[in-house]
Structures are given as structure tokens and as C-alpha cells.
Amino acid sequence: MYYDVLKAFHLIAVISWMVGLLYLPRLFVYHNETIFKSETDNTFLLMESRLNKYIMTPAMFLTYVLGFILVYKQNYLLFENYFIIKLILVILLTAFHVYLSMLYKDFKKGYRNRNTVFYKIINEVPTILMIIIVILIIVKPNISPNL
């Protein structure tokens, strides 16, 4: 039961993290159209900051901590190819999280170097990674290195 409770909280943390990874680029889509230092600009900065600081980053931290505990309890997973691919994709999600934080800092400085379509496109990155991760974890495909 202990393992199942940890897994449940891990999943809750993952969902919370994904919400932020999906929502922050959407905020950037609308934020990109604002005038620097306007009231709307300041509102978006506040929303983005709180989303990252109070939801995304703690959820990512919990995802990792609980994930490490779960892997420690089931360390055979580290020898499964599907699981290794899943871990690589989680690292990519983490890199995307860091990248979103960098984009936020650009908005904070008033930089509007990219067009709105860019933010719409990057909004799909976490969705695609999430779909692949979920399929890997649920299906557990037998991925042989001798393909």
C-alpha cells in the first residue's frame, strides 16, 4: 500500500507540473501582444511568476523526489529500455521547464523577440512528450536495442 500511495502522489505531482508546462506557453501567446510596462504586461508577469514559482517548480521537485523513491523501490526498472526512454523524455520536460523560465525572464525585461506563432508551437512540446511518456509507462513496450 505504501508504494501505491507514493505512486498516487507522484502522479498528482506530475499532473500539477504538466498543467503549468501546458499553461505557461499559452500565457506567453497572449502576453506577447502586450505593451511593455503596461498594466496588462504587469498582470501577465505576475500570473506567469506565480504559476512557475508556486505550482510548476514545486510540482517538478515533488515529481522527481517521489519518482526517485519509486525507482529505488523498483530498481529493476532502470534496466528496462522503455523506462530509460521515459527518463530521457522527463529530462527533456525539465529542460523545457528551464527554457520557459528563461522566456519569462525575457518578458520581464521587455523583450518581445519572437512572434506569437512561436509560442503557439512550443505550447505543443509538453503535450507530445506527455503522450509518449504515458504510452511508454502504460504499454511498457518491449524495446530491444537490436532493432
Residue 144 lies in a domain: no
Residue 147 lies in a domain: no
Q: How far apart are CA 131 and CA 88, in angstroms?
A: 14
Instruction: Kindly state the average pLDDT of the residues 22-50.
Output: 97
Task: Give the angle subtended at the CA of 137 by the CAs of 57 and 74, to the nearest 5°.
Answer: 85
Residue 22 lies in a domain: yes
Question: Number of structural domains, the chain?
Answer: 1
Q: What is the DSSP string of 97-135?
A: HHHHHHHHHHHHHT---S-HHHHHHHTTHHHHHHHHHHH
pLDDT tens digits along 11-28: 999 999 999 999 999 999
pLDDT tens digits along 95-136: 999 999 999 999 999 999 899 999 999 999 999 999 999 999
Domain range for 117: 2-139
What is the average pLDDT value for the chain, to the nearest integer?
A: 96
pLDDT value for 144: 79
pLDDT value for 145: 73
Q: What is the DSSP string of 30-89?
A: HHTTSPTTSHHHHHHHHHHHHIIIIIIHHHHHHHHHHHHHHHHHTGGGGG-HHHHHHHHH
pLDDT value for 9: 98
Give percent of the chain with pLDDT exceeding 90: 95
Q: How far apart are CA 64 and CA 122, in angstroms?
A: 23
Instruction: Kindly state the average pLDDT of the residues 75-89.
Output: 96
Residue 145 lies in a domain: no
Q: How far apart are CA 26 and CA 129, in angstroms?
A: 17
Q: Is the pTM of this model over 0.95?
A: no
pLDDT value for 147: 54
